[in-house]
Homo-oligomer: A and B are copies of this chain.
Amino acid sequence: MTFQSLLHPKSIAIIGASQNPQKVGGVPVRLLTELGYAGEIFPINPGSTEVQGHRAYASLAEVPKSPELAIIVVPAVAVESALRDAVDAGVRAAIVLSSGFAEVGGEGAAMQQRLIDIARDGGLTLLGPNCLGVMNLSEKLFATFSPAPLAGLPKPGSVAIVSQSGAFGAYAYSLARAGGLGLSHWVTTGNEATTSVADVIEALVDDPDTKVILAYIEGTRDGCALQRALLRARVANKPVVLTKVGRTEAGARAAMSHTASLSGEDNVYQAVIDDTGTVRADTVEQMFRLGQAFSLCTPPRGKRLGIITISGGVGTLMADAASEAGLELPPLPTETSRALLERVPFCSTANPVDVTGQAASDFSILDFAAVEAAVSGSYDALALFIAAAGAAPGYAPKIINLVRMVRDAAPDIGLALSGIVTPELRRELHALGCLVFEEPTHAIEAFAQMSQWQAYGVTDEVTAVQAVPQSLPTGLLNEVEGLAFLSSHGISAVPHRHISSSSAAADAWHELSSNLSNMQAVLKIVSRDLLHKSDVGGVRIGLRDEVELREAAVAIESTVAQQAPAARREGLLVAVKLNPRVEVMLGARHDPSFGTLVVVGLGGVAVELEPRTSVLIAPTTPQRVRDRLDALGILNRLKAWRGQPEIDAQPLIDTVVRFAALAAALGPRLRTLEINPLMVGNSFVAAADAVVEIAS
């Protein structure tokens, strides 16, 4: 699929063009004509020889050349034949604005499938159906029936909007116009018969006019394509700010009834967002703010923020927000602090730096503090708060001068100004690469998100997907086989022995306890038919000597035989009872849309009441695993505590990375791969259970 003809067409046919500029078939002709599209326009209308001043054609076949793009606005039942005509006429891309396809189900869905076939066979790029179309602001391409462009155009710029929902896209367009955000492209994908938001993102990665992408999705049928597109955008240093709705059950239900999108588990989308360095926005304004921030300002290279304020109160509020957003607030260097105190005796030179209201009468105090902070090397970004000075008479030149001086002194640091400013001043500050917010905490939000985006490890190597091992055990393994399989792929099990019957219990005890004092043992029935062994009396814990062990073995053998007579009994597993600091659970599954996914979480009973898990795309990197373990509070639990030493997290991280690599290697053959619990202690990371099933 090529998107050149969709995004940059030199000529356009409108199939279903109307003389009436109010009608759905008339709007695109009007927009292209009135708003200055420079390419050729071919209205197709069997009943007219002229449409809105353009020569019209009864059919595409009569057009003297091949239009590059066709806009199709005929009733649903006529779309199929129109699309066929387009293919026959050599059209390269088609936008189907008409609705009445998959979103109404039944015959609509069948018609949509036929459009897919025609487009594929004809090598034509198809957008829609049931979409609001495309705009290219610099080329004045308005291939849409949205009336929004008639109310005014945003300036051409470097931000693209890609939205599955037409109305959401139109609203974002209106906000961009109102907020002065420069747009490159605007694309809505509707039913996504063939072209998805992910496809358009990927096309925009190669578009030189686009530097930042704002995307809205309700769901995706191809999670891997979404990952690929987002990752390519990140590697190309084009930030994607993504709004994914359906986070909650109520939202997912709403999305379902809107575009029949299965919005899917939110934590899977969150994994895609985290693992591809994508920025998530949960509100329309936030999406817009972050898009604007990325388009105006180089992301700070780190998390060190300097706050300079004329109000100690607002400075405190900003410090709260910065701290909660994970930014650091290093103090001013001592020299700078001393110099500032000489100029403003009552100011606070900690961070926030409070130059006090004195700046109102002597603005150069603010200049001094900001420039000194900027050149100190202590900060990656500066957030200034100037209250209402930006709207007070006579202050605009002072503020512009301040921002110029900071920019000249330190061109690479992030810079934001909060307060009330006039629209003109805002534009001038934007032109200087300075963000402007009325709400002071929005500067914090922007820098937090931008520095996190910046910190994404583009060069982190994901563990290479190993080839599937030649001789793979297939089917559902029993626990002993499962632990052995994991072991052979670098994931240790708790020390254990497999015995065929209770008579071998004593030997197992002696082998396992030879280097241990005060060993306790765990004893389990081995049977691939029993997933919940304790339910049939198949598990005993805390066995303190060989006698207890042998008695327990005899008891298990008879109880299980009685309670689950049909289950294969494959001996007994004697394991050392470890004393872990943390129990972790690891699971993996192969998702037809998203590929291999790993779930990591805290193990243990309390967690079943409040599950806390995080999803990773497999294979993964140590950094991603570390971030997730940190967010789950697992790293925290490994720290020194109550006289117990800190436990090195690296072996756990390595184990999760290996687990993910193994799961990815199994690919679609992976049925179940689960360790619960994985015991993490002072000198061990060991699987204490394993469920493994591999398709043949």
Contact = CB atoms under 8 A, between A and B. Distances in A.
Contact of A439 (B283, B352, B387): B283
Contact of A320 (B251, B323, B636): B251
Interface in A271-295: 282-285
Interface string A175-195: 100100000000000000000
Name the residue among A148, A284, A320 with the largest chain B CB count within 10 angstroms.
Answer: A320
Given A360-B147, A388-B174, A246 B316 contact: yes
B147 A387 contact: no
A447 to B, nearest CB: 14
A203 interface: no
A218 interface: yes
A420 B178 CA distance: 9
Contact of A388 (B151, B164, B346): B151
Nearest to A258: B312
Contacts of A243: 317
Contacts of A606: 606
A59 interface: no
A346 B311 contact: no
Interface string A151-174: 100000000000111111011001
Contact of A170 (B147, B282, B387, B608): B387
Nearest to A263: B316
A310 interface: yes
B388 A319 contact: no
Interface in A608-642: 608-610, 633, 636-637, 641-642
A96 to B, nearest CB: 16
Interface string A335-369: 00000000000101010101001001000000000
Contacts of A218: 313, 316
Please indicate which of the listed interface residues A170, A255, A258, A284 has the most CB atoms of chain B within 10 Å of its own CB. A258
10 contacts: A171-B314, A171-B387, A250-B319, A254-B312, A257-B348, A258-B316, A263-B316, A284-B314, A285-B439, A608-B642
B352 A313 contact: no
Interface residues of A, number: 80
Interface of A: 99, 103-104, 147-148, 151, 163-168, 170-171, 174-175, 178, 216, 218, 243, 245-251, 253-255, 257-259, 263, 282-285, 310-317, 319-324, 329, 346, 348, 350, 352, 354, 357, 360, 387-388, 391-393, 419-420, 438-441, 606, 608-610, 633, 636-637, 641-642
Given A313-B165, A348-B258, A283 B171 contact: no
B324 A259 contact: no
Contacts of A320: 245-248, 250-251, 282
Q: 8 smallest A-B Cβ distances: which pairs?
A: A167-B311, A165-B313, A258-B312, A251-B320, A168-B313, A174-B388, A248-B323, A250-B323
B151 A253 contact: no
B165 A311 contact: yes
Contacts of A609: 633, 636-637, 641
Given A243-B317, A608-B642, 5 more contacts: A147-B360, A178-B420, A250-B319, A254-B352, A263-B316
Contacts of A419: 171
Nearest to A311: B167
